[in-house]
Amino acid sequence: MKIVVCVKHVPDAAADRRFDDSDHTVDRTGVDGLLSELDEYAVEQALTIAEAADDAEVTVLSVGPEKAADAIRKALQMGADKGVHVSDDVIHGSDAIATSLVLAKAIEKLDYDIVLCGMASTDGEMGVVPAMLAERLGIAQVTLGSELAVEGSTVRIRRDGDVSTETVEASTPAVVSVTDQTPEARYPSFKGIMAAKKKPVESWTLAELDVAPEQVGLAAAWSSVSATQMRPPRTKGQIVPDEGEGGVKLVEFLAAQKFV
Amino acid sequence: MSEILVLVDHGDGAVRKPTFELLTLARRLGEPSAVFLGSGSEQAKDSLASYGAEKVYVADDPAFGDFLVAPKAEALAQLVGSVSPAAVLIASSTDGKEIAGRLAIKLESGLITDAVDVNAGSDGAPQTTQSVFAGNHTVTASVTKGIPIITVKANAVTPEQATGAASVETITVSISDAAKTARIVERKERKATGRPELTEASIVVSGGRGTGGDFGPIEAFADSLGAAVGASRAVVDSGWYPHSYQVGQTGKTVSPQLYVAAGISGAIQHRAGMQTSKTIVAVNKDDEAPIFELVDFGVVGDLHKVLPQATDEVAKRKG
């Protein structure tokens, strides 16, 4: 069983995230980056599947700038076997469409039965890359699993849709994405942290993936941002302590706003 | 006038509200045509007409219900190929975004997801507004390649009725074997609660850790206001309320007229899901809870006392 987990290095959601005024891309300077929390669930599922299989290998794949190596390292510390880091200056500003192209080309160079992804990144939050990968790779899309089970060559998820809950099944190879309803990710152990130092991480450039520089980056994006604007902070309204009449006061406010 | 395709979101012909919002937005861009995939189009036709659909393209294939997402994306791509619309609008639902993602790759067209507004730009092409980084920034964008594919969040606009001809055109689509790989082996419809759909509701009452797992006061207050019920991630992770009611970064994003947060501290992940609500009120025991930084009105107190009293007060006022 060969598993490729796609991970993204993202700016910390707790930090003050902003856009670069010159090109409207995410400004990463001065903001700590980390392995996207939602991708940790995918790493955890990959490790769980690998532990149950006889002969399994988990490869962590990330496309991103130099710092993305930190996200790969974290996944290796958790227990993944090896890493692949696709990095190229021209990738900066790529949209989901270009990102999915680079990921798909890299995945095609690797051996895989299952491609595992998180449900979305915590910065772009589009949540479309797994579906795009399945489309590009021409394999089954088994996405947004709140539970994942792998038996032999069958993958099965529980998908909580907007109006119904579905059980979805496919044979490998498949692109699988998992939600934060799957079990919490493990913390790297001391042993894991030490072991990760010896695990191989390959660095690939676009040339090795047969992706032309014109196919990626901000200039190649199929959509363009004309403006970004910070939302004015909400102004703090009236706060009252409950001295026995809190509920009545609340409704008085709602009535004044015509909600009651 | 240019044709705008709107993918109909429906359950066996019952059209969901976001579709009417899409039709309303589509009229700003051109002439809306609804795309109805699956069975029940007869039932849907009148409602689509009443929101201005000039045409209704209908395709039915068992694969739409039997397999995940891919067959619908394939059918839509075939239709787009034959009618060359000026844009495709799809609801930002679980399935909708994934259909849009696959469609963008198939058509080599640009994709914008989770728009909160869509207008015709100076060149007539759609220009979108998105709310990003936990609702702290807004982004104005447009598609620059191919046919713009845009997914739109629920409540982006108030649906406005308009008369459309809704002339039905049955189309033939061929679904490839490659699109029939992820089989839906079981489907359980969620039990109807009688409350409005969370993402569509104009009032949402949400409970957090402060409920201690007792959602009685939350539900009662919600019902007094005709509101939907939401929950924080802490509540969902504790198994106190189902995941489908989670508001926040990894749950639903809501933008109602009124959002009531009870026993919710207001972590960034929760704020991401509700920060763009028009009016926000909160009840929390902790006067330093970050949620109070966002509110228009707040009560520092125990929700188990404040909400039942508020529920009674609403009943009293309604007489």
pLDDT of res. B97: 96
**Which pLDDT value is given to residue A54?**
85
Q: Per-residue DSSP letters for A93-114?
A: T--HHHHHHHHHHHHHHS--SE
Residues of B within 8 A of A226 (CB-CB) are: 127, 140-142
* Residues of chain A positioned with their CB less than 8 A from the CB of B14: none
- B109 and A132 in contact by Cβ < 8 A? no
Domain spans in chain A, listed from the N-terminal domain onward: 2-220
- B121 by Cβ neighbours in 10 Å (0-12 / 13-18 / 19+) ranks as middle
User: Is residue B46 a contact partner of residue B57, using CB atoms and an 8 Å limit?
Assistant: no
B244 contacts in A (CB within 8 Å)? 160, 162
Q: What pLDDT does B150 receive? A: 98
The set of residues, in sequence order, having a beta carbon less than 8 Å from that of A129 and lying 6+ positions away, is A6, A96, A99, A100, A103, A117, A121, B101
| Predicted local confidence at residue B258, as pLDDT | 96
Is 3.40.50.720 the CATH number for A2-220? no
Q: Which residues from A are below 8 Å from B134, CB to CB?
A: 13
ipTM above 0.90? yes
Triad B168, B170, B176: Cα angle to 5°: 145
DSSP A119-130: SS-SSS----HH
Can you give the pLDDT at residue A98?
A: 94
Selected residue of A143, A259, A260 to mutate for chain B interface (largest B Cβ count, 10 A): A259
Cα nearest neighbour of A256 on chain B: B297
C-alpha B38/C-alpha A161 separation (Å) is 17
Residues in chain A predicted with pLDDT less than 50, given as ranges, are none
Length, in residues, of chain A: 260
| pLDDT per position as a tens digit, A157-196 | 999 887 889 999 999 999 999 999 999 999 999 999 999 9
Name the residue of chain B whose CA is nearest to A101's CA.
B105
Distance CA A219, CA A94 (A): 8
Q: Which residue has the tokens 């958790």?
A: A78
Chain A residues in contact with B105 (beta carbon < 8 A): 97, 100, 132, 135-136
Taking CA atoms, what residue in B is nearest to A130?
B98
Does residue B130 contact residue B116 with C-beta atoms inside 8 Å?
Answer: yes
CA–CA distance, B149 with B152 (Å, rounded to integer): 10
Q: What is the dihedral of CA B149, B26, A126, A151, to 10 degrees?
A: -80
Per-residue tokens: B269 = 């992940």
Q: Which residue has the tokens 């058509």?
A: B107
Whole-angstrom CA distances from A100 to A180, A211, B51, B194, B235 are 22, 12, 36, 41, 34
Asked if residue A25 lies in contact with residue A95, where contact means CB atoms within 8 angstroms, the answer is no
The Cα diameter of chain B in Å comes to 61
Which of A140, A229, A240 is closest, CB to CB, to B138? A229
User: How confident is the prediction along chain B (319 residues), in pLDDT tens digits per residue?
Assistant: 799 999 999 998 999 999 999 999 999 999 999 999 999 999 999 999 999 999 999 999 999 999 999 999 999 999 999 999 999 999 999 999 999 999 999 999 999 999 999 999 999 899 999 988 877 889 999 999 999 999 999 888 999 999 999 999 999 999 999 999 999 999 998 888 899 989 888 899 999 999 999 999 999 999 999 999 999 999 999 999 998 899 998 888 898 999 999 999 999 889 989 988 999 999 999 999 999 999 999 999 999 999 999 999 999 998 8
> What are the E-state strand segments in chain B?
3-7, 10-11, 14-15, 31-37, 55-59, 87-91, 111-120, 126-132, 137-143, 149-152, 167-170, 183-189, 203-207, 228-231, 258-262, 279-284, 297-300
